[in-house]
Amino acid sequence: MLIRWILKLIRILNSRRGAGEVAGGIAFGLLLALIPAGGLNLLWLGIFLITFFLKVNFASELLFLGLFKLIAPLSDPLLDWGGYRLLTLAGLQNLYTWLYNRPVVPFTRFYNTLVMGGLALGILLWTPAFFLFRSLVVLYREKLKAKLEGSRLVKALNKLPLVSALIRAVSKAGGLSPEGS
């Protein structure tokens, strides 16, 4: 399973997709990972469906959604605290009451402290995450990719039968040509 995730990450980083598309997918993966999806949560589902209409890399979104979901429970106390603070703001009580009395809006579970905290933190982190991951993708593609491909360690690993088989599989699946062919 871990090897499959690593192969997907390598494939995404080496794809011809723009760095912004990959970074957008990662940022949306982070946003969705912070919002609890359990039960019928139309907010999570709505954001997920919106990403189908945006120019983001869907594979990076799903991959990093899974990765961030593994560590998201560590942020639950912060999300609960932030969501509680937002939901108990006196100036917004009339808005929350009005929203709750709309026909479909309660299915977004906006009234849940973890959902509200996750949405707020996800929105706050989306832009910095986008620019950070965009920079990292560009850095990898411009500086690290060529160095890694030419390193002794990678050349030695490429000689191992299992690794060479994995490289051929990734190359075939991703439309990339393996080194030396």
Are 25 and 57 a contacting pair, CB within 8 Å? yes
Domain residue limits, the chain: 2-146, 151-181
Nearest residue to 63 via CA among 34, 31, 29, 32: 29
Secondary structure percentages of the chain, helix, strand, coil, to 5: 80, 0, 20
Question: Residue 180's pLDDT is what?
Answer: 41
Residue 22: HSE in the Cβ half-sphere, 13 Å Cα cutoff: 21
| Averaged pLDDT, 131-135 | 96
Contact 30, 122 (CB under 8 A): yes
What's the rounded mean pLDDT across residues 118-147? 92
Instruction: Please enumerate, as own/partner, the contacts of 108-112 that have beta carbons within 8 Å and a separation of 24 or more.
Output: 108/41, 108/42, 108/43, 108/46, 109/36, 109/39, 109/41, 109/42, 109/43, 110/43, 111/87, 112/36, 112/83
The model's pTM is 0.80
**Cβ(37)–Cβ(47) under 8 Å?**
no
pLDDT at 114: 95
- What's the confidence (pLDDT) of residue 136? 93
**What pLDDT does residue 181 have?**
37
